[in-house]
């Protein structure tokens, strides 16, 4: 009986420790993956592959050819309350997005969450793309 009482805290700690099975939906969806973003006039991934992003397990991310003058932009990413949040090179605040899937999980859309109605009308960012491993 004493042994059970001594082992109970260890067992409870093991059950509550975050692990791969405890990753949230967005982390599971993005970690280690690449998305090719849509571009105006691009009809295939091959045409749009200049704009892409990868999400690393360590919380870093890289957007290729999406920075000022087409350069690469490195940053960090996390999730908060079922939102994807990112802070890229030049940014000083986290920007959060709703994430939705379409086309049987092959396509992804990031819709910026903003508080101000003016931002909704004039400044809200919306990105759409295709997962690299879903390419035809």
Bridge partner list, 57? none
pLDDT at residue 131 greater than cutoff 50: yes
Structural domains in the chain, sorted by start:
25-134 (2.40.128.640)
φ and ψ at residue 55, rounded to 5 degrees: -120, 120
Is 28 strand, coil or helix?
helix
pTM above 0.85, yes or no: no
What pLDDT, in 10s, does the model give residues 87-116?
Answer: 998 889 999 999 999 999 999 999 999 876
What pLDDT, in 10s, does the model give residues 18-67?
Answer: 444 578 999 999 999 999 988 765 555 555 446 899 999 999 999 887 65
């Amino acid at each position: 009986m004493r042994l059970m009482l001594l082992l109970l805290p260890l067992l409870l700690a093991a059950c509550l420790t975050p692990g791969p099975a405890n990753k949230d939906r967005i982390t599971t969806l993005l970690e280690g993956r690449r998305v090719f973003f849509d571009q105006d006039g691009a009809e295939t991934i091959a045409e749009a592959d200049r704009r892409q992003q990868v999400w690393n397990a360590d919380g870093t991310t890289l957007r290729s050819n999406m920075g000022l003058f087409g350069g690469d932009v490195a940053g960090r990413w996390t999730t908060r309350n079922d939102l994807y949040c990112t802070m890229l090179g030049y940014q000083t605040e986290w920007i959060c997005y709703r994430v939705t899937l379409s086309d049987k999980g092959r396509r992804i859309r990031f819709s910026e969450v903003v508080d101000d109605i003016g931002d909704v009308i004039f400044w809200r960012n919306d990105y759409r793309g295709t997962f690299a491993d879903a390419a035809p």
